[in-house]
Structure 1
C-alpha cells in the first residue's frame, strides 16, 4: 500500500495489486457532450457519419489524422527539386567555468521558402529551423533569449530534464518592449486566470539546462500561454542534440552521414505568407482558431528543415536519420521506397529520450507531433543515380511526399549497428509502483466555444491537478477520444501496454511523448526522479494544447 502521506487527488488510486490491463470506462465528470454539440464539432473532428452519432461511439471511427487541412493559394514546387538545408550549429558565446553559454535573438525575418514568393517568419537567430545546439551530457548550458518579436514568448526545451524555473512554463513570459505588464486578474493573455506564480521578464531571459541526461535529440520551441500553436507555425522551433560517452563508443553513422531532420507541414496564402486560421491574426488577445480547424491545423506543404519536399545527396552507405515531428497536428507514417517500389528497412535505434537497448527493424514508422526517433537506413547496393523517397503513408496527394535521397556514389562504410546499443535504460518494476492515475483526453465545450480537456477540466494555471513525490514510481492510464500525442515535461517514461495488449514495436525505449490513437487507452510507467516544482503534461497537438488540454503536475 502507498504511504498514507502520499499526495492524492480525484484521479488517483492505491496501486496495490490492482493494475487491470483492460481499458477503463471513463467516469470523469464534465466530459459529456450533448448530441447537438457533437454534431457542431463534426466537421472539425471528422467524427460524424451520415445519420448521426453519439459521444461514446465517435472515437471508434479511426482516422489517419485529426484536424482540418488548409490549402495553399500559391504555386507549389515539384517534390524533390529543392536541396535539403542543414541548420547551422550554434557556437557558444562563452565556455568558461564549465558551462556553455549561448545567446539567441527571437526576431521576425523575411525568407524564401517557396521558390516564387517570400514569407515572413518568426525565428530564433533569423533561421527556420533555429540553430542547432550540440551539448555534452552533464555539461550545463545557459540560453539567453532576447525577444524582439511583437508578442510575448516562452521557451521550452522539449525532452529536457530541467529545473522548473527554466522549463518554459506558459505564463513565465518574456515581454517585448512596449508590451504592458500583466495586470491583476490576468497574466497578460486572454481568457485565463491570473497566475500568482508566473515569473515574467522584460525583453530577455536566461534559461539554465543541467543536461544531466542520456544522449538524445531534443527540440526547443515556443510555449506561450494560449498561443503556442501559431508561434510554432510561424517558425519558433529548433533542435538540440545531447551527446555522451555511451553513444560515442558505438560505430553508428556520424558526421555528414548523421542527419537531424525537422518535419513540419505548412500552408501559404496568396501573398506568400504562412496561412493560419487564428481568431486573432495579431496573436495578442483572442486565442484559438476558427471552428473548421478546432481539431488541429494541417498544411498541404511538407517542409523538412524548412524546405519543401527537399532532396539530399548521399553515399551508398548507412545513414542515421534523427527525426522530429514539429507539425502542429499532422501524424506521419514514414517509409523509405525506391523508384522501383522496393521498401528499405528503417532500423530504429533511438526514441524521444535516447538509445534503445537493442535495435528494432521496421518497414514503416509512425511519428506523432513532438515525437523523435533515430533510425538507420542503408543505401548500400543501390547504384549511383538511384532515388529513395521518404513517404508518408498517412498523407494524400502532395502530403504523401516528404523528401528524397539521391544516391551519388559507392563508398566505404565503417559504421555498424550493434546488437546491444546500451544498458543504461531504467528498469522500473510494477512492484515499485505506489499509484495508478487515470486521465482522459477529450473534446468539450466552454463559454468560448470548442475546448479540449484533461479529465473534463480545461487548463487553469492556478490549479494543481497532480501532486507527487520526487522519486515516486507511478503508472498513468491515458485514454483518448481522437488522436492525442501526450507529453510529460521533465521526465521520461516507458509504455507498458496499449488497450491491454503489448506495446507497439516503435514504443521501445524511453519516451516523453506517447501517441494515443482514437479510442485507445495506454498505460505508461514513470519515475519522477530529478527536480521538484511545477511542470506540465499535455496533448502536443498544438491547437488542443492552446484550447485547454494541459494540466499541472507538482513534484514535491
Structure 2
C-alpha cells in the first residue's frame, strides 16, 4: 500500500487480533506465490468461494411469486426531514414453501423494508437492537457523515451485553483480544439514530449490518434492506415507474435439515470467535438463489418496458445475468444507472456481470414477447440450480408511455488524470499472518487503531488496485469512475459513477475520485463479506 504510515505497533496489534480466526493453510499457495498464482486463477471459472449444499427438498424454479419489499412509512415528516424507526429482531418466516426459517431482520422482514427518499431531504433512522448480539448499520453508497456511516466498532449493544471487552465471555482466555477495543468507537445501548443528509445523486442504496468481524454471517441471516433516493430531474425522464419499477435483491443461501440457514461459523452464536471453517475461507456460496427473499421467483408483467433496480446482496457469489425467452432469444438489458446513479447515456448489454454489493439500473422491454410467454433471468456463471435466477411471465398487452432518453444525466463529474494530486497502489491478496492465513490490503489486516490512508478534503486521487482472486472493492462516502482495466479502457459495465468495482483474478483496475462531502474516518474494503471479516478492510481518514 503506497503512502502508508509505518505503524509497527498497529501492525502487531492487527496480527494478534487475527490469531482468533484460525485461518488454515488453504490459502498458503496464494500467499506465497502472489500474482503468479493469480495469472493461473484468471483462467479458471469466475468463482471465489465454496458452495454449501441444502439438506431440505428445494422447490422447482419459477413457481413462487416475487415479493416486493414494503415501503416504510416515516413516523414523522416535519421541519424538512423524515424520521423512521426500525426494530432489529429475530423472526421465523417461510422462505422455502412449507418450511420455517429463523432469520435476523430489520422490521421483521427479509429483505428489510425499503426506505424511499428525496434528494437533499435529510432522513433519520432510529434502529433498536433486539437481537442477541451487537449490530452496526451502514448505508452502502450513502454520502454520510462519519458518525452515521456505520464504522464497524460503533456498536449498538443489546440488553445484557457487557460494555467492556474484558467483560465479554471468553475474553479471559484471549489476552490479545483485550487490546482490540477501538478508543474512537462510539457505543450505544439498545438504540441508535443514524442521520443521512442524502445530498447525493438519485440511486439505489442498501443498508446492512457492518459489525467488525461478523458482517458476513449477519447479512447471511437477513440483515439487509433497500433505500432508494429520487429527485425531480430523474422523475421527468419518463423511465418506467410505479409497478413497472422493480427492486430486485439477489442473494444466495443454503438451508439445514430443520429449515434454518446453514453458515459454517466457528462460533455459531456470533459472540466471540470470528471466522469460518477452513473449506470456506475464500467465501461462502449457497445453492439456493433468492430474489427479494423468495427462491427462483416468477413475476407477472405487462408487454411493456420495466425498470429493474438490481442489487447483488450475496456474500461472495458473482453473477453474469442474461434475459432469455423460452424460444432462446436474448433480450437487451439497457443499463441506465450504476451504483451511484444515472449514466450519461444508456449502455446496452446482452450479458451483465454483477459482483457482491454492485447495483445496476436496467430497462428490459417485454413488448416483443407474446402473452403467455416467459423470460428467464439466468446466471451464466452458475451451474445446476444456481444457473436460474428468476422469470417473468407476460400476462397481458398494455399501453406503454415510458421512454429511455438518449441523454440521461449531465451532472456526472469530469475528473481528468491531470486533476489527481497523488496516485496510490493497493494489493488485495491472501497473506501470511501469525497463526495462519487471511485476506490483506497492502499486506496488512484491518486494525481500527491504525491510519492506513490520510487525504485532504477536496483532493482528487487515482487508486490502482490489483487482486489475486475476485475482490469487489468498495469505498465508503465517495463515488468513483473506472479509468482502466489491465491497462486498457474500461469495460461497458464500468460506465458511470460507482462505489464498488469488481476485480477479477489477476486483474488491475485504476479508479479516480474526489474525496469530498465530510471530514472524518471512513473505510474501504473487499465486499466479499468473508474476506472483509477476515481482515480485508482499511481505514481512510479525510482531514
Superposition TM-score tier, normalisation by shorter sequence: over 0.9
CA, structure 1 residues 457+114, in 2 after alignment: closer, same or farther (shift >3 Å)? Answer: same
For residue 309 of structure 1, the aligned residue among 269, 273, 296 is 296
2:515 corresponds to 1:525? no
Contact 2:23 2:437 in 1 (8 A): no
Following the alignment from structure 1 to structure 2, what is the Cα–Cα distance between the partners of residues 297 and 366? 19
2:95 corresponds to 1:113? yes
- Offset from partner CA, 1:286-326 (integer Å, 9 cap, x none): 00000100000000000000000000000000000000000
Quote the residue 2:183 is aligned against.
196
2:25 corresponds to 1:40? yes
Quote the residue 1:284 is aligned against.
271
Quote the residue 2:195 is aligned against.
208
Q: How does 1:168-187 map to 2 (within 5 A)?
A: 168-183=150-165
Q: How does 1:141-540 map to 2 (within 5 A)?
A: 141-183=123-165, 191=177, 193-540=180-527
Following the alignment from structure 1 to structure 2, what is the Cα–Cα distance between the partners of residues 370 and 152? 22
Following the alignment from structure 2 to structure 1, what is the Cα–Cα distance between the partners of residues 170 and 312? 30
Scaled by the length of structure 2, the TM-score of the pair is 0.93
Following the alignment from structure 2 to structure 1, what is the Cα–Cα distance between the partners of residues 513 and 169? 32
Q: Aligned residue pairs: how many?
A: 520
Following the alignment from structure 2 to structure 1, what is the Cα–Cα distance between the partners of residues 395 and 98? 28
Following the alignment from structure 1 to structure 2, what is the Cα–Cα distance between the partners of residues 215 and 187? 44
- For residue 180 of structure 2, give the secondary structure of its aligned residue in structure 1: coil
Following the alignment from structure 1 to structure 2, what is the Cα–Cα distance between the partners of residues 261 and 250? 21
Following the alignment from structure 2 to structure 1, what is the Cα–Cα distance between the partners of residues 419 and 513? 11
Q: CA deviation at 1:105?
A: 0.1
Structure 2's unaligned 5+ residue stretches are 7-14, 16-21
- For residue 38 of structure 2, give the secondary structure of its aligned residue in structure 1: helix
Q: CA deviation at 1:116?
A: 2.8
- Which ranges of 4 or more aligned residues in structure 1 deviate by more than 6 Å? 184-190
Following the alignment from structure 2 to structure 1, what is the Cα–Cα distance between the partners of residues 448 and 245? 40
- Higher share of residues assigned helix: 2
For residue 100 of structure 1, the aligned residue among 61, 79, 82 is 82
Contact 1:186 1:195 in 2 (8 A): no
Following the alignment from structure 1 to structure 2, what is the Cα–Cα distance between the partners of residues 199 and 163? 14
Following the alignment from structure 2 to structure 1, what is the Cα–Cα distance between the partners of residues 342 and 250? 21
Following the alignment from structure 2 to structure 1, what is the Cα–Cα distance between the partners of residues 536 and 466? 13
Following the alignment from structure 1 to structure 2, what is the Cα–Cα distance between the partners of residues 85 and 249? 27
Quote the residue 1:9 is aligned against.
4
Scaled by the length of structure 1, the TM-score of the pair is 0.91
Following the alignment from structure 2 to structure 1, what is the Cα–Cα distance between the partners of residues 474 and 456? 19
